[in-house]
Structure 1
Amino acid sequence: MSFISNFIDKLTKMGAYLSAFILVSLVSLILIEIFIRSLFDMSTMIADEYSGYFYLASIFFGLAYTFSSDSHIRINIITSRLSKKVNRKIDILAALITLAVLAFALYRTALFTYDSYSLEMLSENVSETPLYLTQLAMPIGITMFMLAVVLFIFKGFTND
């Protein structure tokens, strides 16, 4: 179990680093666009499109780490008044519900990405980027998030 736990922890950290790198790339792209527009009165023609792609990818790659580091927003008006044992049971139940929702989201995003791939869909913008490449971040990020939730559930059962 320790090996799997360490693997999932490293995977979620890798997702966080990738998310941070993508955010830095997003900011750099916007700054380059501003610089080119103000000095040369030109445009990269892809800044709007790719900033959306980068933003989507940074969110999905960062979900697992955000969950594993307890950074998601939690409303604990009721659970703060309960015992730790009851709190743990509620957390496990909520994690199981989360896992079911994520399984559905994974199925739909994987299907969406596959459809884009099989239909050879391209961006309507100048870049004509294959859309499946930009959509891959969704099922990959959700899979990483699901692994983090599964680890959370196992830790809840083992009182870790």
Structure 2
Amino acid sequence: MFESLNRNLNKLYKISGYIAAIFLIFVAIFILIGISSRIFGFYIRGLAEYSGYCMASASFFALAYTFVEGSHIRITLFLEKLSGFKKRIMEIWCLAIASFFSGYLAFYFIKMLIISYKFQERSEGADEILIWIPQTSVAIGSTIFFISVLHQLILIIKKN
């Protein structure tokens, strides 16, 4: 059962990485449209805001994938100096702290999303979009990141 869950979570992290890549493509498209619109003399409201929303979404969806792949800045320089039991204890401690803070981050973003939806808040930019729409992807991405950190903690604890 644990191996099946492990495979499915790794698929989730990979899908999260693909979603981040799609949002980055949207950022590039919005920037190119913005540049083209200036050249050809027309204006599209909210392009800067939409590219910002897509960049935030890409960042948060990429967190889980890059964490699992080992691409985040980690404390490996410190951990390389340790070995055996001390290294294992330090890895567990670091992942436990990271799980706590990433869980708090996910909780906060979900809470912020619920409040924005409840009060129907709109952005202050030219687009005046309902702000809960871009916040949804940030909340989902941060939740997947929390799951990935907790998953790594469980893997380290489970490892003999």
In the alignment, is residue 131 of structure 1 matched against residue 114 of structure 2? Answer: no
Q: CA deviation at 1:87?
A: 1.7
Give the stretch that moved more between structures: 120-129 or 141-150: 120-129
Residue equivalent to 2:22: 21
| Mapped contact 2:20–2:57 kept (Cα < 8 A) | yes
SS in 1 for 2:77: coil
Runs ≥4 in structure 1, deviation > 6 angstroms?
Answer: none
Q: CA deviation at 1:142?
A: 1.5
Q: What stretches of structure 1 of length at least 5 have no aligned partner? A: none
Q: State the partner residue of 2:10.
A: 9
> In 1, are the aligned partners of 2:63 and 2:145 still within 8 Å (CA)?
yes
Q: C-alpha separation between the residues in 2 aligned to 1:135 and 1:56?
A: 9
Structure 1 position 149 matched with structure 2 position 149 = yes
Map of 1:69 onto structure 2: 69
Deviation by residue 1:40-70 (Cα, 9 ceiling, x = unmatched): 2112122111111011000000100011001
The separation in 2 between residues aligned to 1:147 and 1:116, in whole angstroms, is: 24
Aligned AA (2:17): A
Return the offset for 1:78: 2.9
Per-residue CA deviations over 1:77-117 (Å, capped at 9, x if unaligned) read 33211114322221111111111112211221111111110
Equivalent pair of 2:30/2:47 in contact (CA under 8 Å) = yes
Counterpart CA distance in 1 for 2:76 and 2:11 is: 28
Query: Tell me, which stretches of 5 or more residues in structure 2 are unaligned?
Result: none
**When the two structures are superposed, what TM-score results if normalisation uses the length of structure 1?**
0.92
Matches within 5 A, 1:1-160: 1-38=2-39, 40-159=40-159
Rounded to whole Å, the distance in 2 between the matches of 1:110 and 1:67 is: 21
**Matched residue type, 2:112:** F
Q: CA deviation at 1:75?
A: 3.2
Report the alpha carbon displacement of residue 35 of structure 1 after superposing the two structures with TM.
1.2
Same amino acid, percent of matched pairs: 28
> What is the alpha-carbon distance in structure 2 between the residues aligned to residue 114 and residue 76 of structure 1?
37
TM-score (norm: length of structure 2): 0.92
Provide the aligned C-alpha RMSD in A: 1.5
